Structure 1
């Protein structure tokens, strides 16, 4: 009987742990109708909430793609759209010039659903086993990127392309390895970079100079 009780307790502990881990991987469930983000760090008082708190025109206009990547992202996350707070969703518009690339990056707090609005875009991600999954998608087609995996979007069409990236987090975060290596403040130690990329210091310095303006 004691053994059975211990097994039951262990099972309940494992279930509680699994629930805690699952909860840690997503935004928390709201405990009220809404919690409009307040600059002071709490919910905006209900009496002060207005219609515009639930509205954003952030992705209505195209962003300039006049940069080395030929790409630009316009984000509607909780930092710019306070009504998203606690709702567990956000959206980004990405504009791509012909040949434009949204370089490999990851979102540590969200899965991503890509929907092309115009043009054709190759979307791809790599798994933890270094397998590449990719497909060229066109207007109104979808491609999903699992949470935390490194991925990219490349304009493979003849003209401009636009897509929406929808996230299951109000603040998905973004980590771009090239920036994380070559444009950190303070600078990443030279020894780390030379050993990581199997390059000499001159080659690393040349690479670092390309990201100085980012």
Structure 2
């Protein structure tokens, strides 16, 4: 597979709930928090053109879609390219419902220490739940695209990427102790973790090889946003 066709396949990798959203209209958010009635809210949104949301490339939440300010929910369309995954993360302020629209995706969720791993095969029409604060991830098992809809019961859910939060923030000597005396190069491991905000990342080596997406040095594959 050529680099051009490879990148074309990977072009459907998209930012979602793992991204760090920038507030597009802080003045409008402030106005909505101060209105006295729901009618005032409608008038403010009508005047500022706040009822339309431009699409699924970014999360629909209070930051990107001010009309959701105070509503207590957000929605995102998740598009996973072949073999792509959303790495382990959690939402500190929201429970997450995810329903598959297309493709073959597997989700993994750990509720807390001692709880069994919940594995769900997300095929079209199948839904799963990630309770607030639970650690979870999703991986596209196929060589085609997968699409899912994600709903969360907070307009500012927050996202904590497990490895991004640990590496580069916590003292390396304690991370080394956490992994045990197995000769891991903690500094090297941390440098290879994709940055927060890229959304999906390349998944398992087995899937990449099966789908003809291997061949990139050190597993580094260019991520493109549509």
SS at match of 1:194: helix
Aligned partners of 2:139, 2:195: CA distance in 1, in Å? 22
Per-residue displacement from partner, 1:118-167 (whole Å, max 9, x unpaired)?
11111121121241011111112211111110011110123111111100
Structure 1 pair 40–100 and aligned structure 2 pair: CA distance change class (3 A): closer
Q: More relative contact order in 1 or in 2 (CA 8 Å, sep 6+)?
A: 2
TM-score, normalised to structure 2's length?
0.64
Aligned partners of 1:114, 1:196: CA distance in 2, in Å? 32
Aligned partners of 1:201, 1:212: CA distance in 2, in Å? 22
Which portions of structure 1, spanning 4 or more consecutive aligned residues, are displaced by more than 4 angstroms?
199-202
Structure 2 residue runs without a partner (length 5+): 1-24, 197-226
CA-CA distance at 1:77 after TM superposition: 1.1
Aligned partners of 1:77, 1:149: CA distance in 2, in Å? 20
Instruction: Give the corresponding residue for 1:41.
Output: 30
Instruction: Give the corresponding residue for 2:91.
Output: 107
CA-CA distance at 1:79 after TM superposition: 0.4
TM-score, normalised to structure 1's length?
0.68
Aligned partners of 2:54, 2:168: CA distance in 1, in Å? 31
Are the equivalent residues in 1 in contact too, given 2:45–2:51 (CA < 8 A)?
no
Per-residue displacement from partner, 1:44-86 (whole Å, max 9, x unpaired)?
7645432731221231xxx5xxxxxxxxxx3111100000011
Are the equivalent residues in 2 in contact too, given 1:183–1:212 (CA < 8 A)?
no
Structure 1 residue runs without a partner (length 5+): 1-35, 64-73
Are the equivalent residues in 2 in contact too, given 1:183–1:211 (CA < 8 A)?
no
Q: How is 1:91-130 mapped onto 2 (pairs within 5 angstroms)?
A: 91-128=75-112, 129-130=114-115
Give the count of matched residue pairs. 163
Are the equivalent residues in 2 in contact too, given 1:115–1:141 (CA < 8 A)?
yes
CA-CA distance at 1:201 after TM superposition: 8.3
Structure 1 pair 202–120 and aligned structure 2 pair: CA distance change class (3 A): closer
Indicate the RMSD between aligned Cα atoms, in angstroms.
2.5
CA-CA distance at 1:98 after TM superposition: 1.4
Per-residue displacement from partner, 1:152-204 (whole Å, max 9, x unpaired)?
111012311111110011111111111101244xxx21222111222578700
